[in-house]
Amino acid sequence: MADIEQPFRLTQADSGISEADGTANQWSDIWKYQVPVGVTLKVKAEHTFAAYLEDASAQVGNATCRIKIEKRDPSESDVLLLYGPDLYVVSKEFQDQTKKARLACPAGGITISQREYIVISVYDDGAIDASDSYFELLISKVRKAISA
């Protein structure tokens, strides 16, 4: 039997997310999610991403802030780009599905297996405050079909 894909919503509130504030003028891992044992995720081109970023005082407003999403192996030495790097302003839309940022994936999608990471990184001229920032990544969770 074929595997079954179900919608999966990953946000900064997920219990598996670790977060860290960003450092100015360098790529900083703001959110990191390690896929739990026994779970497989799938990322496809039609999947969407949105983020809201704050620095020390307010929403990031400059036109130079960039954001990217990476898939990393368990040792974090092998990296595959899933989104970006793109300007932060492209990923700010949460409501309108037609304007949400789309992920960069080949036909058939990209599988993210247990113990691998999904990492959202930001490059800005200010320090990102992770506790006042948030994101939404709409992808798929894969489960094995029950065979008779």
* Residue 41, Cβ density class (10 Å: 0-12 exposed, 13-18 middle, ≥19 buried): buried
pLDDT at 50 over 60: yes
Q: Which domains does the chain have, with CATH numbers?
A: 8-141 (2.60.120.1180)
CB 139 within 8 A of CB 61: no
* Residue 75, Cβ density class (10 Å: 0-12 exposed, 13-18 middle, ≥19 buried): exposed
For residue 147, what pLDDT is reported? 65
Q: Which residue, among 117, 38, 39, has the nearest Cα to 79 in the 3D structure?
A: 117
pLDDT at 41 over 90: yes
∠ CA 92-77-104 to the nearest 5 degrees?
A: 35
For residues 40 and 88, give the distance between their C-alpha atoms in angstroms, rounded to a whole number.
Answer: 28
For residue 4, what pLDDT is reported? 87
Interval 16-36: pLDDT, tens? 999 999 999 999 999 999 999
Interval 66-124: pLDDT, tens? 999 999 999 999 999 999 899 988 888 788 877 888 887 888 899 999 999 999 999 99
pLDDT-based confidence at residue 1 (cuts at 50, 70, 90):
low
For residues 110 and 70, give the distance between their C-alpha atoms in angstroms, rounded to a whole number.
Answer: 11
pLDDT at 61 over 90: no
Does the pTM surpass 0.85? The reply is yes
